Structure 1
Amino acid sequence: MKSSKEKIVKIVKIAAISILLLIAFTLSLPFIFTDTITQKVKATANTHLDGELNFKETNLSFFKHFPSLTLTLNELNLNGSAPYKKESLINAKEVSLGINVFSLIFGSETEIDEIYLDNAKINIQVNRFGEANYNVYKLNGDTTKTSSNESQLKLERIIINNSELVYFDRSAKIEIKLKGLNYRGTGDLQNSNFDLKTRAQIDQLSLTYDKNEYLKDKKVKADLITKINTNSLSFIFEKNDLIINKLPIEFSGFFDFIANGYKMDFKVKTTNSNLEDVFSALPPEFGNWVKDTKTKGKTDASFNLTGDYIVSENKQPEVNFAIKVRDGYVKHKNAPFPIENLYLNLETKLPNLDVTQLQVKLDSLYFDVNKNNLSAILKSTGFGDVMQVDTKIKSNLDLGFVSSALQIPNFELGGKLNADVVANGTYDTKKRLFPKAKGTFNWENGTIKTAYYPNPIQNIQLDAKLDNPSGYFKDASLDITKGHFTFENEPFQLAAHFQNFDDVAYNIVANGTLNVGKIYQVFKIDGIDVNGKVSANVHLKGKESDATSGNYANLNNSGTISVQKIATKTSFFPLPFVIENGTFTFHQDHLNFENFVGKYGTSDINMNGYFQNAINFFLADKEILKGNFKLNSSLLNTNEFFFTKEVQVEKETGKTVENTIHQVMEVPTNLDLGFDLDAQKLVYEDINVKNISGRVTIENGKISLTNGKLNIIDASALMNGSYENMGTQKANFNFKMKAAEFDIKRAYNEIKMFRELASSAENAEGIIGMDYDIKGVLNNKMEPIMPSLEGGGTISVKKVKMNNFKLMNVVSEKTDFDNLKDPDLSEITIKSNIKNNIINIERFKAKVSLFRLRFEGQSSFDGNLNLKMRVGLPPLGIIGIPIKVTGTQDEPKIQLGKKSEDLEETVYDENATPTDSISTQTIDSTSVTKPIIKDTISASIPENKEIISDSITPAPAIEVKKDSIR
């Protein structure tokens, strides 16, 4: 008995001593290793962190996050990587690093296996070029070797408490804000294949995409398991349960990086959820509405994104969305009646993210409101020119009851809506198929009011009937017996009848005033901004085929449309079109323009003329709009028609960023218009043209100018030309210009293309003439692609002084003939042609002082030279020196002789990327070899015949001229 007590006492003593030793160890260990660990952490930070790191003090303890030994960095701030080096990435009250005790005592390096962030602000920023601030971890040299003075990250746990996170990616236009973030992630993160287990709770989550807020201050709970393979870059979302506010969501699937894209399978669903919980996750603009609205019912919803995303193969994933609502009930607190018995069963499928393959299956939509109801079914496949449709819609609704029950913010509907529509069959524009259909639509005493304009469109009366018994375009008809509304105390009335959609017979009566600017404000259509008024009093009656076949006597189109201050801004042009005033009158197939005054930017337009086939153009897809006009203008600035720069201001930095846009001007293909042009001034790039006149036509996507007369650099010229875009990235052009006399110096200084075609004229002064024809391709900067240029013509030199002309100056230097320097040229005709980046110059003669010169050869747009030259010596040029000129225009090489190799041609590749404009290339300078000529030539020609006989052989008098031009 005694021995048992002694044993117990002994065990207790040993345990107590062990505990005391353990406590002593845990208390003393931090004091022993604090400096060591701090130094190693600092060494690691200095080696591997690109951002500036600051913290106030450190504390090593077992008790901060017991039982882990942690080094706590107080008041830590880590700045981001470029271009955000001066902005904080992480700012935290405390950051604790969990230390592996065994690695600290027995290992050669200290391992950090846990990270704790308390009261942190995490600020992740990505600019519009995709440059992020979180690239602060850098690898130096051999990553397999680590200094013993450093610590190693071998994370198994990340814990974040009561923190905030901002993620703002300007390139993707996404902004996410988290407040009250509590996160716990565990896994063996140092392995290439591991499970990441996550538990997270967020007090407030906000999500904004493209400046539209979709989530605001939503509560989120998450319990996630993700399998990660860092070798194959594969992510498997095994178990992911989320709760957004009160809405439970299950998320699963995988995401793989593959060689040329991504493979994905995302599945998101909520099952048997309360309709109230679904509404709690609505975008923030409905926040107050949700609070004041009572909802009941059950909901199932799912969203799937499955497939490959491979741009090079035009592969995109398939999207599936489905939602079911049962026993739905919605009533705003101020509504007299609820929407009840709400049933919805909708499935959609979008293969390859291609809207033309859209599939919609609306098995049912039904609800009641105060004994009024709506029921609908819809099954459709395809979208656009080909669709398969099966639908039934029936309504007996007072829209005021619906609007009152829902109380949708800033949106009101009113009036009695009765509809009964049945349609079944194929819609195919090519096969001229139209679903069998029979339907009526009646809206009485209707109103529409939105947040975009304070006053409603009211007194809406619409009575329409659709009928097609056969399933073909030819038997379809639409009858609008009554169409009326009042807006801003101005009434508008419309009645219309359309029969036989294959050959539309129309009868349209319209009378009233439309304040189109304010109407567009009501509906707020993105990409379009319109202002002004339109007054109409028209009666249009006829048949499409009568207009196209010229049976104008069968048409009865009459009436007037007047417009005032119509300003239209679309996404297709950088500036708005403004119609100051204009009157349009209908007569048979003509829509006549009278006193049309318009503006576009700094350009002004005055037009009189007519459109032909206008009604058919608006009724049918493939009709051509014809017309003929007289167009007068004091200024046409064509530069304002091109998108060149998009300016954005980043609100966070206040920096102005210019995004250069490259695109050629597009010409519509459905126009056949002619204009007799008379403009006092026209501006194109850096060219100012005065008093331009001629015939401009727009036909089949091509703009042409014929019999053009113009004044350019104060010289009269004749011009014909054309322009035709090939998509948005390149365009074909062709022009022929003839000018009797113009100033070569002004041409070089003021016309960009002249500088590119005649770079040697930089310092020339005088008068020349030109008769030249050239065609080619413009790149997406509206600049010529030089290898594409083809053409030819004549340059007539009237009287020109070639100042600092390097070619002749080098010849003068090598021959010691000073009279060849800065030559005066007159009455010379130079013929040339252009192809494959080469200008081929035909043989021509020139007289410079007492010398008779002859030139021919090649010059490339890259600046390379291959010229043959003969310097005919005084007095008659019978004896001359053959010279070949190679090198570049900046540094020509002069040698005796006749033979030289042709320049290498650059053949234009029609399939080349249009942005790869081959306009000019930089040529490296080469040294000029100096042939000794002046020692072989003297002023006395007879005494030097033998010296130069190797190059030029004297001949009898009768044959001298023949040899001299060899």
Structure 2
Amino acid sequence: MKKILKITGISLLVIVILLLVAPFIFQNQIKDMVRNFVNNSVNANVEFADVSLSFISSFPQANVTVDNLKITNLEPFKDETLGSVKSLSFDMSVKELFKKADEGPIVINSIYVNEALVNLKVNKFGDANYDIAKETENTNTSTDKSEGFSLSIEDYVITKSALTYLDEGSNTILHVTELDHSGSGIFSESVSELNTKSEANVTLSLDSTEYLSNNRIKLDALIDLDLENSKYTFKENKGLINDLPLEFSGYVQLIEGGQDIDITFENPGSSFKDFLAVIPKTYSQNISDVETSGNFKVNGKIKGLVTEKTIPTLDINIASNNASFKYPDLPKRVENISINAAIKNTTGNVDDTFVDLKTLNFKIDEDEFKSSAVIKNLTKNMLVSANIDGVLNLANITKAYPITLENELSGIIKAKLNTSFDMNAIETNAYDRIKNNGNISVNDFVFSSADIVNPLNITEANVSFKPSTITLENFKASTGKTDLNATGTINNLLGFLLSDKKLKGDFNVASNNFLISDFMVEGGSDRPVNQSAEPNDALKIPAFLDCTITADAKTVVYDNLTLTNVKGKLLIKDETANLQNVTSDLLGGNLNMTGLVDTKTKTPTFKMDLGMSNFDISQSFRDLDMLQNLAPIAKVLQGKLNSAITLSGTLGDDFTPLMSSISGGALAELLTTKVEPKNAALFDALTSKLSFIDFDKLDLKDLKTALKFENGRVSISPFNLNYKDIGITVGGNHGFDKSMDYNVVFNVPAKYLGSEVNRLVGKINDSEVNKISIPITANLTGSFTSPKVQTDLTSGVKNLTTQLIEIEKQKLLNNGKDKIKDLLGLNSSNQTASDSTQTQNSSPVINVIKDIFPNGNNSSTPTDSTKNPTNVVKDVLGGLFGKKNKKKDTIN
């Protein structure tokens, strides 16, 4: 007995070892088998990462697994992926692995597919990307057998997969996601039976009309397979669309150029809860506990050919009478529900498909809503005829139905409207083919959103519809502290609501208080006005607006500015706002604006012409950041300003200018101006360097100058002004960063330049000298808050002193020459020869000589020692030049 057990154990051990080792022995053979099959079977590029063999997982059968399989098409779908599979497994008899080519096809019993992605496509020429099988050569020898695989399936499983089918010819699109499918059947026989279970999310669109939209579908189907005639007949079939149970029967047969379809379906029950089941669970939530009354029935028949030119005829009906529902956790009931709708096509021509909504009525509390509509010609120029009559309390929507709204919504809408139009008329603005009649009113409407700072409260709004026009009769609203009152006309409301057309109209808007901050997202931007960084997410003017707004606002508040009596016109189109003759009272004066703001590009741009009249200077340059950057020093001025500014640049995400981008120019005129230099660092620095000027008494009245700004710097054309009898010329530039580089030239009279200069001027005592002035240049650098002042005052005074000394010297010399001439009589006029006249007109020198030599002789001995000629001449010359030699003691 022990020997038998030992032999058995050894045998089992050997078998297990063989089962484990065999896959490695036959690994290359299996790879060659798969590669040969692929090469002999398909016209496509096939790649796979690995092929493995196992005898353990599927014992007593062999299991072959292909990992990361990918199939790529050849022409006419070159390089397009037909499909990819993460894992593809086959179960088959071990002997099938060792079949030779002449022993017939390999028989596969089971297939397992995991995470397959399949893209099926038929182009407009009828070529199919899945038609990749190679044609086999037919022979008359009965013993010849086709090579390849034969399916004798006991079961197959597809998990976590997806499929897309696109037929360009019929414009059919099918998306299947989250597909789990299993089935069993024998495909080797010409007629067999396939038993399947399927579950997936399905989206189906036929010629641009979406019939299923990511609906969850379950299907248990028993299908007869007639492979010889490509006909698939549904025998016992039960399915779920979302939670709506359906039973269907019929067949689908593949024919040349399309499919032949004959399918009927209906819901087996008749409870109104089946209607709620059609709605996706995302919007309807759990309906198991919903209380309902009334009936609901859906049935349909789809019959005919699917070809490039035709679709099956349709007769799908939905009906419900006097139904109601109430969710257990919600306070309101929806009742008096009546639905009578049909989707029909009686010709097989896709253009003849139409939707007939005869009735869609319901009631919530005391508010009744009734509607009907017919929609024809769905695939071309759609024709719509609709009637709406009812009241809808928006706040009751979430109280009666479990829908979660992103934003708060309340208010009462009353509508009585009938309309008839075709889509082409809306797209081409053919208003004569748009027939509207009735009105819609909104009361106490409240809307909040993350895109606006404060909820929008529409107290009252009324829109009237007439065949040719839609009129906004009144619109009263508020948000934050802003109030709005508007009227106007709307040209294409239906085009805006039903297509991608722009909202066109002309509106008159009035407001008592309009705060810009009420329309800005909180925390939108913390950048300073002179930001240089480009914004990440700038505000945009809505692209759908194409309108003209005539505004009249008593007060508009923007940041720290308050504008009053704002009037003007705003044209909005193509994400651009064009301001035309906008006027306002601001800062004690009048403002006129013309220009545009363009937000089409990533970074918004602007161009603006500003006219400012009688602006309060100090307040303007203190409160207006732009002006403060253009002329920082002006904030110390008191008085009035006229200015014309032209500027352009880019805007930040809060619609304030990026100062480094601004370019343009300005003309400024100062009126009745006084300087208040206290606490101004620049004036303090100038005063410390230039003692001859008192900036408190600087007169800037009627000063005119021109500014040019570009690349972050402001250049000022040289301008002249006066302080007393001092002429001043100013020129240079500064940056928006408050850096500066200015030259101020003071034409200073000599009398202001110190005591030494004044002593020289007084000594010269000449009226022309008193008029002498010299230029003193002050170079201003650094910044307005930390200025650096350098002057040439010292060198100027030194040069002036040297000049005055030279003038004094020349004057003394000239005076000395005149005295000598007087002494010599060279300055006397011609005289007669009479002695008496000569005596009277003799020069001082002649008289001295006569005193010295009274007798006219040439004796060298003086008669009077005090009248020594030499001493007399010295005394005279000494007196002439303002100095005398001291007398020396003499001994006779």
Residue 316 (structure 2) aligns with: 440
Query: Higher mean Cα deviation, 544-553 or 693-702?
Result: 544-553
Question: Is 1:891 the equivalent of 2:767?
Answer: no
| In 1: Cα distance, 2:347 partner to 2:804 partner | 104
The 5 A counterparts of 1:193-342 are 321-323=178-180
Contact 1:558 1:588 in 2 (8 A): yes
Q: How far has the Cα of 1:882 moved from its partner?
A: 3.6
Alignment-mate amino acid for residue 270 of structure 2: D
Alignment-mate amino acid for residue 398 of structure 1: S
Residue 488 (structure 1) aligns with: 365
Question: Is 1:593 the equivalent of 2:476?
Answer: no
Residue 460 (structure 1) aligns with: 337
| In 2: Cα distance, 1:800 partner to 1:393 partner | 94
| In 2: Cα distance, 1:600 partner to 1:836 partner | 39
Among residues 678, 692, 701, which one is paired with 2:575 in the alignment? 701
Kindly name which structure, 1 or 2, has the bigger radius of gyration based on alpha carbons: 2
Alignment-mate amino acid for residue 681 of structure 1: T
Question: Is 1:631 the equivalent of 2:506?
Answer: no
Structure 1, residues 798-857: CA drift from partner, whole Å, max 9, x if none? 114141444444333223323357744221112112111111211211223332111222
Alignment-mate amino acid for residue 358 of structure 2: T
Q: How far has the Cα of 1:692 moved from its partner?
A: 0.3
Q: How far has the Cα of 1:589 moved from its partner?
A: 4.2
**SS at 1:596 equivalent:** strand
| In 1: Cα distance, 2:747 partner to 2:377 partner | 83
Among residues 258, 270, 278, which one is paired with 1:398 in the alignment? 270
Residue 759 (structure 1) aligns with: 632
Alignment-mate amino acid for residue 298 of structure 2: N
Structure 1, residues 220-253: CA drift from partner, whole Å, max 9, x if none? xxxxxxxxxxxxxxxxxxxxxxxxxxxxxxxxx9
Taking structure 1 as the reference length, what is the TM-score of the superposition?
Answer: 0.50
| In 1: Cα distance, 2:310 partner to 2:772 partner | 85
Alignment-mate amino acid for residue 345 of structure 1: E
| In 1: Cα distance, 2:742 partner to 2:523 partner | 42
The 5 A counterparts of 1:722-741 are 722-725=596-599, 730-741=603-614
Residue 195 (structure 1) aligns with: none
Alignment-mate amino acid for residue 789 of structure 1: I
Report which of the two has the higher share of strand. 1
Contact 1:808 1:823 in 2 (8 A): no
| In 1: Cα distance, 2:709 partner to 2:180 partner | 66
Does the C-alpha gap of structure 1 residues 796 and 943 become closer, same or farther in structure 2, counting only changes over 3 Å? farther
Residue 539 (structure 1) aligns with: 418
Alignment-mate amino acid for residue 246 of structure 2: L
| In 1: Cα distance, 2:349 partner to 2:636 partner | 72
| In 1: Cα distance, 2:623 partner to 2:803 partner | 46
Aligned residue pairs total 557
Query: Higher mean Cα deviation, 872-881 or 751-760?
Result: 872-881
Question: Is 1:557 the equivalent of 2:432?
Answer: no
Question: Is 1:513 the equivalent of 2:408?
Answer: no
Structure 1, residues 35-61: CA drift from partner, whole Å, max 9, x if none? xxxxxxxxxxxxxxxxxxxxxxxxxxx
| Structure 2, unpaired ranges of 5+ | 1-67, 69-85, 88-155, 163-175, 185-194, 204-211, 221-237, 250-260, 278-284, 525-534, 751-770, 809-892
Among residues 392, 396, 418, which one is paired with 2:298 in the alignment? 418
Structure 1, residues 96-122: CA drift from partner, whole Å, max 9, x if none? xxxxxxxxxxxxxxxxxxxxxxxxxxx
The 5 A counterparts of 1:493-508 are 493-500=370-377, 502-508=380-386
Alignment-mate amino acid for residue 812 of structure 1: T
Q: How far has the Cα of 1:871 moved from its partner?
A: 1.5
Report which of the two has the higher share of helix. 2
Contact 2:315 2:345 in 1 (8 A): no
**SS at 1:856 equivalent:** strand
The 5 A counterparts of 1:139-150 are none
Structure 1, residues 736-773: CA drift from partner, whole Å, max 9, x if none? 22121111222233333333333223433222222112
Does the C-alpha gap of structure 1 residues 934 and 408 become closer, same or farther in structure 2, counting only changes over 3 Å? same
Q: How far has the Cα of 1:730 moved from its partner?
A: 4.1
Does the C-alpha gap of structure 1 residues 803 and 733 become closer, same or farther in structure 2, counting only changes over 3 Å? same
Taking structure 2 as the reference length, what is the TM-score of the superposition?
Answer: 0.54
Alignment-mate amino acid for residue 562 of structure 2: N
The 5 A counterparts of 1:518-529 are 518-521=396-399, 522-529=401-408
Contact 2:675 2:696 in 1 (8 A): no
Among residues 834, 854, 865, which one is paired with 2:729 in the alignment? 854
The 5 A counterparts of 1:482-881 are 482-500=359-377, 502-521=380-399, 522-546=401-425, 549=428, 551-621=430-500, 623-645=501-523, 663-725=537-599, 730-798=603-671, 799-804=673-678, 805-820=680-695, 823-874=698-749, 879-881=774-776
Contact 1:629 1:675 in 2 (8 A): yes
Structure 1, residues 395-417: CA drift from partner, whole Å, max 9, x if none? 42434465999974664566414
Q: How far has the Cα of 1:468 moved from its partner?
A: 7.5
**SS at 2:451 equivalent:** coil
| In 2: Cα distance, 1:756 partner to 1:451 partner | 64
Structure 1, residues 915-937: CA drift from partner, whole Å, max 9, x if none? xxxxxxxxxxxxxxxx8457537
**SS at 1:825 equivalent:** coil
| In 2: Cα distance, 1:548 partner to 1:320 partner | 35
| In 2: Cα distance, 1:851 partner to 1:784 partner | 40
**SS at 1:599 equivalent:** strand
RMSD, aligned CA? 4.8
**SS at 2:633 equivalent:** helix
| In 2: Cα distance, 1:791 partner to 1:683 partner | 26
Does the C-alpha gap of structure 1 residues 547 and 373 become closer, same or farther in structure 2, counting only changes over 3 Å? closer
Contact 2:588 2:614 in 1 (8 A): no
Contact 1:845 1:855 in 2 (8 A): yes
Q: How far has the Cα of 1:499 moved from its partner?
A: 3.2
| In 2: Cα distance, 1:936 partner to 1:757 partner | 38
Alignment-mate amino acid for residue 790 of structure 1: S
| In 2: Cα distance, 1:436 partner to 1:617 partner | 34
Alignment-mate amino acid for residue 894 of structure 1: V
**SS at 1:753 equivalent:** helix
Q: How far has the Cα of 1:518 moved from its partner?
A: 1.1
**SS at 1:573 equivalent:** coil
